[in-house]
Amino acid sequence: MITKLAVLGSTGSIGQQTLEVVRAFPHRFRIVGLAAGKNLDLLAKQVSEFKPRFVYSQDREAYTHQNAECEFLSLEELASHPQVDTVVIASSGKSGLLPVIAAVKSGKNVALANKESLVTAGKIITKEAKLNKAKILPIDSEHSAIWQCLKGETQKAAQLVLTASGGPFLRFSPARLDKVTVKQALRHPSWQMGQKVTIDSATLMNKGLEVIEAHWLFGIPFNNIRVLIHPQSIIHSLVEFIDGSVKAQLSYPDMRLPIQYALSYPERLPNPELPRLNWDRLGSLTFEPPDLDKFPCLKLAIEAGKKGGTYPAVLCAADEIAVKLFLSQRIKFNDIARLVEQVLGQHQAITHPTLEEIIAADAWAGEKAYQLITGDSPC
Ligand code: MG
């Protein structure tokens, strides 16, 4: 049986790795839709290789001019199209939210890599997924690990343990952290990822967002989810059960594995291109608790998740702007957390927000973050 895929965010890091998996199993997966932002050259190459029926790009005019043979759809039309079995949401940032909602409302399998959608609207997405029998298949390595550990279990987990590499600054003093450069922050020790998620990994914001996602994906209270620093990135997460037994999922850190599992679930596929663990050379695996004073973004994210309502949307939007300002060298590394905290502190939250209220809170927070630093509105 061939699974028909639409890949949203096909030119990004996860999108390109998804296409590598598809390339490895041409008789198992077929690309029927591709969507990208502004990287038209790469999108054009992908279209000529995979020949999808449907396509989307941010710049419609430039795109349709080059590629007349594909039907141009909106992201939401693509995510809910009857010819699509599984939608891969690989786009980063807020652009993932509405397509995820469209996909779950139409009962698709949703292979989800976009963090912001579950973080900001987890309650709405999981409710709609249940209502419409849509399956959310996690792509992130930590959630994939937990999902794999839970398979076959009939009782709820007692505790989820999300592992974190600790990023490039694990051993830095707070004073050294204040002076880190963009180049240093973009050099992640174990994972190849896009810029935004690499910075979020260095601040541990990424792990905080993953805690919120885990809460919604697996229905586990925040107090039963913990983060553990594991610098080797071999154990991708652990699940503890009520009898004290702990299961872990281990593999070489390569995103193609969780992507492939989300696409082939419940089956596993043999992919010779995926590197295997070398047990003779692995050495020791170490664990330590995270330092919340040095990496306050983790604490801010978990607090925002616990408070719920519009707080997680504000957290995400403020962080998105803070990371942009850091990448353009307008603020320092430690200012990312300070700015996010300031914006959260000024927010008047809504406890049970609608989708529109979540989107409005996101817009408010982005603008507020930008204003606090530049005194101006973003253009
Ligand atoms: Mg992750």
Task: Give the model's pLDDT for residue 65.
Answer: 57
Q: How far apart are the CA of 237 and the centre of ligand 1, in A?
A: 10
Q: How far apart are the CA of 120 and the centre of ligand 1, in A?
A: 17
Which residues sit with Cβ closer than 5 angstroms to ligand 1, an ion?
140, 142
3-state helix, strand, coil in the chain (%, to 5): 45, 15, 40
Q: How far apart are the CA of 210 and the centre of ligand 1, in A?
A: 7
Q: How far apart are the CA of 44 and the centre of ligand 1, in A?
A: 29
* CA–CA dist 41, 67 (Å, integer): 11
* CA–CA dist 235, 249 (Å, integer): 6
**pLDDT by position in tens, the chain (length 379):** 899 999 999 999 999 999 999 999 999 999 999 999 989 999 999 999 999 999 999 887 766 655 667 899 999 999 999 999 999 999 988 889 999 999 999 999 999 999 999 999 999 999 999 999 999 999 999 999 999 999 999 999 999 999 999 999 999 998 999 999 999 999 877 776 788 989 999 999 999 999 999 999 999 999 999 999 999 999 999 999 999 999 999 999 999 999 999 999 999 999 999 999 999 999 999 999 999 999 999 999 999 999 999 999 999 999 999 999 999 999 999 999 999 999 999 999 999 999 999 999 999 999 999 999 988 776 5
Q: How far apart are the CA of 161 and the centre of ligand 1, in A?
A: 13
Beta bridge partners of 240: 159, 246
Q: How far apart are the CA of 76 and the centre of ligand 1, in A?
A: 25
Q: Which helix (H) or strand (E) holds 335?
A: helix 333-345
**By C-alpha distance, which of 161, 168, 211, 162 is closest to 187?**
168
Say which residue the tokens 């695996």 belong to: 285
* CA–CA dist 200, 213 (Å, integer): 15
Q: How far apart are the CA of 164 and the centre of ligand 1, in A?
A: 8
Q: How far apart are the CA of 213 and the centre of ligand 1, in A?
A: 11
Beta bridge partners of 36: 57
Q: How far apart are the CA of 257 and the centre of ligand 1, in A?
A: 13
Please give the distance of CA 378 from its chain centroid, rounded to a whole number: 24
Max Cα-Cα span within the chain: 61
Specify whether the CB–CB gap between 298 and 204 falls below 8 A.
yes
Name the E strands within 204-321: 225-229, 235-240, 246-250
Q: How far apart are the CA of 374 and the centre of ligand 1, in A?
A: 31
* CA–CA dist 112, 106 (Å, integer): 15
Q: How far apart are the CA of 61 and the centre of ligand 1, in A?
A: 35
Q: How far apart are the CA of 147 and the centre of ligand 1, in A?
A: 13
Q: How far apart are the CA of 162 and the centre of ligand 1, in A?
A: 9
Q: Report the Cα–Cα distance between both ends of the chain, in Å, rounded.
A: 48
Please give the distance of CA 362 from its chain centroid, rounded to a whole number: 17
Q: How far apart are the CA of 200 and the centre of ligand 1, in A?
A: 10
Amino acid at 169: F
**By C-alpha distance, which of 329, 322, 324, 263 is closest to 296?**
322
Q: How far apart are the CA of 87 and the centre of ligand 1, in A?
A: 19
Q: How far apart are the CA of 140 and the centre of ligand 1, in A?
A: 5
Q: How far apart are the CA of 82 and the centre of ligand 1, in A?
A: 30
* CA–CA dist 17, 20 (Å, integer): 5
* CA–CA dist 142, 92 (Å, integer): 17
Please give the distance of CA 11 from its chain centroid, rounded to a whole number: 15
Q: How far apart are the CA of 190 and the centre of ligand 1, in A?
A: 11
Dihedral over Cα of 287, 289, 290, 294: its sign: negative
Beta bridge partners of 30: 4
DSSP, residue by residue, 86-134:
EEEE---GGGGHHHHHHHHHTT-EEEE--HHHHHHHHHHHHHHHHHTTP
Say which residue the tokens 């696409």 belong to: 263
Q: How far apart are the CA of 118 and the centre of ligand 1, in A?
A: 14
Q: How far apart are the CA of 125 and the centre of ligand 1, in A?
A: 20
All structural domains of the chain, each given as residue ranges with its CATH number in brackets, are 3-138 (3.40.50.720), 142-251+281-292 (no CATH), 308-372 (1.10.1740.10)
Q: How far apart are the CA of 142 and the centre of ligand 1, in A?
A: 5
Q: How far apart are the CA of 143 and the centre of ligand 1, in A?
A: 8
Specify whether the CB–CB gap between 205 and 297 falls below 8 A.
yes
Q: How far apart are the CA of 211 and the centre of ligand 1, in A?
A: 10
* CA–CA dist 32, 125 (Å, integer): 24
Q: How far apart are the CA of 183 and the centre of ligand 1, in A?
A: 21
Identify the three-state secondary structure at position 379: coil
Specify whether the CB–CB gap between 34 and 43 falls below 8 A.
yes
pTM of the model: 0.95
Tokens, residue 247 = 């299961």
Measured between alpha carbons, how far is residue 302 from residues 204, 207, 296 in Å?
11, 9, 10
Please give the distance of CA 268 from its chain centroid, rounded to a whole number: 22
Task: Give the model's pLDDT for residue 259.
Answer: 98
Q: How far apart are the CA of 67 and the centre of ligand 1, in A?
A: 35
**Within 10 Å of residue 376's Cβ, how many Cβ atoms?**
9
Tokens, residue 123 = 């309650």
Q: How far apart are the CA of 60 and the centre of ligand 1, in A?
A: 32
Tokens, residue 245 = 């037994």
